[in-house]
């Protein structure tokens, strides 16, 4: 009886949730707050806006701009292509073993980011890459002479798509699965063509999920560093490379400016998410 009492008195709920809360505070909230406070602190420890003002130098502004363009372009293309492939696999009546193979591959490819991915594309589209050589020797197309460069905006975007597309496919597949067959059948019995079904029912239902994934892809592209660092070194002035070099201690010579740079990144990804939340709230009126 007494043991039963003791057991009942143990606050299981609090004990179980405590590690999670502690973890959230120590590794998510405090570090973020630390960055924010450092961004507004000068070397002497007093409040300043100089660090924020320092962001508006041409070098840093252009770094943000290139990052936003790469992230935006790769996110939009990744979303469109990923959606097309997912629809082809799930709704296009392709053999079902293909689907599970593709989804496993997506899991692998979406985690195949960073340095190995950079090397994979150097081996493919670099000056000595297989695709480059085959295009030149077999088809007579010299992509480098016609202006292509792997270590550029488009090179980076094409490389990012390697993890953006699978990320889209993994995220959107459950939503596509959630499209009930009966909706399509109901639309057909009411005279709708396939296109009309997608126009009025299918795509509007998928829309919030697509938007959510778009903002996720944007954040993943914007925050990606290893791929860009290994691929372009300091050829392409993107903001993550700038911050990476800063953390390693050889860039801005100003810790406060580094924190401001990081804060700026949080602001950009947050804005992307807020845009998503606002648009999704409008698109999701029909949801519970």
Partner 1 sequence: MRGQKFWAWLIFGLGAAYFIIPLIATFEFSLRMRRGEYSFDAYASVFSDPQFAASFGYSIVIGLFTIVVGILVVVPAVYFVRLRMPWLRPFMEFVTLLPLVIPALVLVYGYIRLYGSSSFLPFTGSVLGTDVLLTCAYVTLALPFMYRAVDNGMRTIDIGTLTEAAQIAGANQLQIIGQIILPNILVAILSGAFLTFAIVIGEFTIASLLNRPAFGPYLVGIGTNRAYEPAALAIISFIITWGAMGMINVLGRFAPAPPSGPTDMAAFLEIENLVKTFGTNTVVKGASFGFDKGEFISLLGPSGCGKTTILRMIAGFERPSSGAIRVDGRDITQLKPNQRQLGMVFQAYALFPNLTVGDNIAFGLKIAGMPADQRRARVEEMLKLIGLPGFEKRYPYEMSGGQQQRVALARAIAPKPRLLLLDEPLSALDAKIRVSLRQEIRAIQQDLGITTVFVTHDQEEALSISDRIVVMNAGASNSSARRTKSTIGRPVGSRRLLSATSTCFRPASFRRAQWQTLAVC
- The verdict on 286 binding partner 1 (CB under 8 A) reads yes
**d(C-alpha 233, C-alpha 244), whole Å:** 11
- Selected binder of partner 1 within 96, 100, 137, 234 (CB under 8 A): 100
- The verdict on 79 binding partner 1 (CB under 8 A) reads no
Apex CA 153: angle with CA 147 and CA 156, to 5°?
Answer: 110
- Selected binder of partner 1 within 104, 137, 234, 278 (CB under 8 A): 104
Output the smallest distance, CB 246 to partner 1, in A: 8
- The verdict on 154 binding partner 1 (CB under 8 A) reads no
Output the smallest distance, CB 62 to partner 1, in A: 19
Output the smallest distance, CB 263 to partner 1, in A: 8
The pair of three-digit structure tokens given for residue 284, joined into one six-digit string: 């999701």
Residue among 63 and 117 whose Cβ is closer to partner 1: 117
Output the smallest distance, CB 274 to partner 1, in A: 10
- Selected binder of partner 1 within 205, 211, 252, 260 (CB under 8 A): 205
- Selected binder of partner 1 within 52, 76, 135, 226 (CB under 8 A): 226
- The verdict on 135 binding partner 1 (CB under 8 A) reads no
- The verdict on 282 binding partner 1 (CB under 8 A) reads no
Tell which positions 18-47 bind partner 1, by CB under 8 A: 19-21, 23-24, 26-28, 30-32, 34-35, 38
């Amino acid at each position: 009886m007494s043991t039963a009492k003791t057991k009942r008195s143990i606050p299981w709920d609090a004990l179980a949730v405590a590690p999670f809360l502690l973890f959230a505070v120590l590794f998510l909230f405090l570090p973020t707050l630390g960055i924010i406070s450092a961004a507004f602190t000068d070397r002497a420890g007093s409040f300043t806006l100089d660090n924020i003002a320092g962001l508006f130098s041409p070098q840093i502004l252009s770094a943000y701009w290139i990052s936003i363009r790469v992230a935006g372009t790769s996110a939009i293309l990744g979303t469109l292509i990923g959606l097309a492939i997912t629809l082809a696999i799930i709704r296009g009546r392709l053999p079902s073993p293909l689907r599970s193979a593709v989804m496993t591959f997506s899991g692998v490819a979406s985690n195949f980011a960073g340095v190995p991915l950079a090397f994979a594309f150097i081996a493919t589209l670099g000056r000595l890459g297989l695709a480059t050589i085959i295009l030149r020797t077999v088809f007579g197309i010299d992509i480098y002479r016609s202006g292509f460069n792997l270590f550029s905006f488009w090179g980076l975007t094409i490389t990012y798509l390697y993890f953006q597309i699978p990320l889209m496919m993994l995220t959107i597949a459950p939503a596509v699965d959630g499209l009930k067959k009966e909706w399509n059948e109901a639309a057909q019995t009411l005279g709708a063509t396939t296109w009309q079904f997608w126009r009025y029912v299918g795509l509007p239902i998928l829309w919030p999920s697509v938007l959510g994934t778009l903002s996720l892809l944007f954040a993943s592209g914007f925050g990606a560093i290893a791929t860009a660092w290994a691929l372009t070194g300091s050829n392409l002035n993107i903001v993550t490379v700038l911050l990476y070099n800063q953390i390693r201690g050889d860039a801005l010579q100003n810790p406060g400016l580094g924190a401001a740079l990081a804060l700026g990144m949080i602001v950009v990804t947050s804005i992307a998410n807020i845009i998503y939340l606002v648009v999704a709230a409008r698109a999701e009126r029909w949801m519970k």
